[in-house]
Amino acid sequence: MNGGDEVVAASADPPLPLEWRFSQVFGERSAGEEVQEVDIISAIEFDNSGNHLATGDRGGRVVLFERTDTNNSSGTRRELEEDDYPLRHPEFRYKTEFQSHDPEFDYLKSLEIEEKINKIRWCQTANGALFLLSTNDKTIKFWKVQDKKIKKICDMNSDPSRTIGNGTVASSSNSNITSSCLVNGGVSEVNNSSCTDFSLPPGGISSLRLPVVVTSHESSPMARCRRVYAHAHDYHINSISNNSDGETFISADDLRINLWNLEISNQSFNIVDVKPAKMEDLSEVITSAEFHPTHCNMLAYSSSKGSIRLIDLRQSALCDSHSKLFEEPEQAGPKSFFTEIIASVSDIKFAKEGRYLLSRDYMTLKLWDINMDAGPVATFQVHEYLKPKLCDLYENDSIFDKFECCISGNGLRAATGSYSNLFRVFGVAPGSTETATLEASRNPMRRHVPIPSRPSRTLSSITRVVSRGSESPGVDGNTNALDYTTKLLHLAWHPNENSIACAAANSLYMYYA
């Protein structure tokens, strides 16, 4: 339950700040180009190896990218440095895409179910095939993506170049002409027109030869839906998470968390239910849920009141009680109308070894140690300068935006998004003062303003509380310069390298350090 001793806790000296550079962009908009609603990216996820990246959009499509730079450079790192060969950064290319979800209509509830992809999670690979889960508001699907050999049809009995009359194909009885191969059974336009008015040549055809299907050396990725997990949620699904056992996963909506077996699509087990007997007594909802990365019996879920609960599946079939509760100590002084709204946790992520947990609420990013439930280990201010504008943010519904967060594979840094297509990177190692503000563009540092960080405040010898990232006046601190319509909600950190993929509307930007 303690998790591994990650670099966060073990590092003696804080690492040096990283210098971020632009790597790639997919789907970049030209100046003045209007973005279609269905093309806006709504989910991003790296697989465990980091060699594949998946994105989902509001049109229900899933797009896969694969890494291409793994075998491009030969020799050891030292040899490459001696040859003054620049070390390559991660490079990806488009692999395939498929329509995961379509719009549906629930006739019993008179409810339209949109096709938007809410979450994507990679599963374990097998036999060279990729497996992943994708979900919209109501339905989860299990997909298999595998390279298939392309089949072509060759050795036809007709010659498209020889026609008679009104375009019908002419062929002698002893014709032995091989037409060009047609991919996947396709027929040329000439044959399409002739098939509607086909006449036999004089004397007929003495022998009938069927087309020969030939498997070429080329391959193409094909996606196939293996299972559909439906009709288990009354409310919108906000999270799915794979278990480390490779056999089960969870799905969470506002009031319930269900446990599924990947092989069984018609049955799930309800393991968390926060729905009260009377709906008027409802005080909080589930906002995110995540399995522990190494302990298959543990998971965490967050709530709209800013708390995070850690539960152990070994305690009971229905986990009404939690093993640990993580929440910010209640602040003294008056509370405003917006206090509970901005406290709602929009996303949680476990660090790779499972000891630390990252959470994002509207204003801050918090790091928690699952061994200490007195309070967060560190708190990072994402956009403190928005506090005077909370009323305006409430009027335009921006205060309800759900920003995601991610943590690096070595546990030294965390990242989250903001407005004006900005995202922020914080050093979370003890003693680190690293804070970077970057823009999702080809020049990520153009909006960067050096931001002094507050000194850490030690509450005790056990708990280390840090508050960093509070903005000083500048480009980012000028709320008039912020564009609330361009928000960077979704981003993912490469599991093994300092590389970040983030979504700005319909564009996928990638950066490395």
Per-residue pLDDT tens listing for the chain (513 residues): 555 445 444 446 788 899 999 999 999 988 778 899 999 999 999 999 999 999 999 999 999 999 997 655 445 555 544 445 455 678 999 999 999 999 998 887 788 999 999 999 999 999 889 999 999 999 999 999 999 887 777 766 555 554 444 444 444 444 443 444 445 444 444 444 444 555 666 776 666 667 777 777 778 899 999 999 999 999 999 999 999 999 999 999 999 999 999 999 999 999 999 999 999 999 999 999 999 999 999 999 999 999 999 999 998 888 888 999 999 988 777 788 899 999 999 999 999 999 999 999 999 999 999 999 899 999 999 999 999 999 999 999 999 999 999 999 999 999 999 999 999 999 999 889 999 999 999 988 865 444 434 433 333 333 334 445 544 433 444 444 678 889 999 999 999 999 999 999 999 999 999
Give Cα separations from 204 to 179, 333, 444 (angstroms).
20, 98, 71
Tell the CATH superfamily of the 21-29+41-145+227-447+482-512 domain: YVTN repeat-like/Quinoprotein amine dehydrogenase (2.130.10.10)
Whole-number Å distance between alpha carbons of 171 and 178: 12
Helices (H), 146-279: 189-195
Helices (H), 87-232: 189-195
Q: Where are the chain's structural domains?
A: 21-29+41-145+227-447+482-512
Helix (H, G, I), strand (E, B) or coil at 227: strand
Of 443, 296, 300, 274, nearest in space to 358 by CA: 300
CB count within 10 Å of CB 79 equals 11
Confirm if 233 and 251 have CB atoms less than 8 A apart: yes
Q: What is the pLDDT of residue 453?
A: 41
Q: What is the pLDDT of residue 49?
A: 93
CA 415 vs. chain centroid, Å, equals 14
Of 226, 266, 236, 228, nearest in space to 106 by CA: 236
Q: What is the pLDDT of residue 308?
A: 97
Q: What is the pLDDT of residue 145?
A: 96
Return the ∠ at Cα 50 (arms to 45 and 52), rounded to 5°: 65
Whole-number Å distance between alpha carbons of 475 and 439: 12
Whole-number Å distance between alpha carbons of 97 and 11: 41
Q: What is the pLDDT of residue 167?
A: 42
Encode burial over 235-263: b for 16+ CB neighbours within 10 A, e otherwise.
eebbbbbbbeeeebbbbbbbbbbbbbebe
Whole-number Å distance between alpha carbons of 488 and 424: 10
CB count within 10 Å of CB 119 equals 22
